[in-house]
Amino acid sequence: QGTSQGFAHAKAILFGEHAVVYGSPAVAVPLHGLGVQADIRRSPHQETRIESQLFSGTAQTAPEPMGPVVAGLNAALKAVGDPDAEVELLIRSAIPHSRGLGSSAAVATSVARAVANLHSTAFDEETLHEIVQAAETVAHGRPSGIDAWAVAKPAPIRFQTGCAQTIDVGQRLVFVLADSGHHGSTAEAVGGVRARRDADPTRIGGMIDRLAALTDAAVDDIRSGDRATIGARMIEAHGLLGEIGVSTPTLDSLVDAATAAGARGAKLTGGGLGGCVLALADDDDSAEELAEALRKAGAPRTWTTEVRPT
C-alpha cells in the first residue's frame, strides 16, 4: 500500500489584520520555508489512526485540539467520495501554533491534499477552500477565511469578504519574521477591538478605515515594486494596530529593533497580543543582519522568506 503526501506552507498577514473583520481588504504573503507535510495511507487496521506532535492514537480517542484535523480529514474523504475510509495519517508541522502563522489552516490543507493524492486526484481551489474552512470553523469558530486561502496560494493575495485574488509582484521582497515567544489569542484581540470600537466608534472606526486605506495603497506598491513605500506603510499600520489595542511592549520593541537595524518597515502580523513581527529587508544580506538584530532583541527564533516578482 502506497503512501500519499500533501504539503502546505505558513502565511503572514502583511496588511489589513483586524480591519478585515469589518469587511476591509487584507494582504497575506506565503511563508514558503515553513510548512506542514501530511502522509496518508489506507489503514491495515479497522480504524483511523493519527500521529502528530500533539497526539498519537485512534481518531475516536483524539482530544479536542485535534478536532480541526479530524474535521478536515472527514471533509476531504467525503469530497473524494470515500467517507468511510480508514486511514493512517502522519502530520509533521514546522509551524508554531498560536503565532498568527496559519498553522491550523496549513495542517488542514496538507491533509486535504494528501487525501486527494491518495485518490490520484487534486481538489480545485474552491473545494479545497471549503474543506479547510470546515476545519477552521472547528478551530476558530468564525474564521474570516484569509488563512485558508493564504496557506494554499503560492503568491501574495488580496483578501476581502471571502474572496482572494493573487497580487502580481513588481519587485522581489525579502521579509524577516520574528517570533515574540508569546502566544497571541486572536479571539481575545478581535473581541478587544470590537469592545473599543463600540465604546468609541468615531476614533476606532477612523483607525480601521485608515488601515483599510493603507492596505489598498500597499497592493499598488506591491504591484509596482515600491519597497520604500511598502515599508513606510508597515510602520504606520503598526502604530494604528497599537492604537486599537493589539500591540504589546514586546512587539513594539521588536519593531523598533528591526527599524534600528535598517528594516524598510516592520509591524506586528496577525491578531497581535503576542505572535510575530514581520520586517521588510532591502536584500538577502540586510535580512541576515535584521534577523540577528531581532534575535538579539529577544526573539527566540526568526525566519526569512521571499516574495518573487511575477
Q: What residue ranges bind ligand PMV (CB under 6 A)?
A: 13, 17-18, 20-21, 100, 143-144, 146-147, 186, 189-190, 270-271
CB of 102 to ligand PMV, least distance (A): 6
CB of 135 to ligand PMV, least distance (A): 14
Residue with grid cell 486605506, as numbered in its chain: 213
The CA radius of gyration of the chain, in Å to the nearest whole number, is: 19
Cβ of 88: how many Cβ atoms within 10 Å?
Answer: 18
CB of 17 to ligand PMV, least distance (A): 4
- Beta strands (DSSP E) in the chain are 4-15, 26-42, 49-51, 56-58, 87-93, 157-160, 163-166, 173-179, 265-269, 276-281, 302-307
Q: How far apart are CA 69 and CA 115, in angstroms?
A: 12
Of 169 and 189, which CB lies nearer to ligand PMV in the complex structure?
189
Instruction: Please report how the helices 67-79 and 103-118 are oriented relative to each other, as an axis angle in degrees rounded to 10.
Output: 30
User: Which cell goes with 229?
Assistant: 513605500
CB of 136 to ligand PMV, least distance (A): 9
Of 96 and 271, which CB lies nearer to ligand PMV in the complex structure?
271
Q: How far apart are CA 236 and CA 45, in angstroms?
A: 56
Helix (H, G, I), strand (E, B) or coil at 309: coil
Amino acid at 300: P
CB of 236 to ligand PMV, least distance (A): 17
Helices (H), 45-99: 67-79
CB of 219 to ligand PMV, least distance (A): 17
Of 4 and 144, which CB lies nearer to ligand PMV in the complex structure?
144
| Nearest position to ligand PMV, beta carbon | 270
Of 242 and 270, which CB lies nearer to ligand PMV in the complex structure?
270
Of 85 and 277, which CB lies nearer to ligand PMV in the complex structure?
277
Q: How far apart are CA 76 and CA 298, in angstroms?
A: 40
Of 68 and 88, which CB lies nearer to ligand PMV in the complex structure?
68
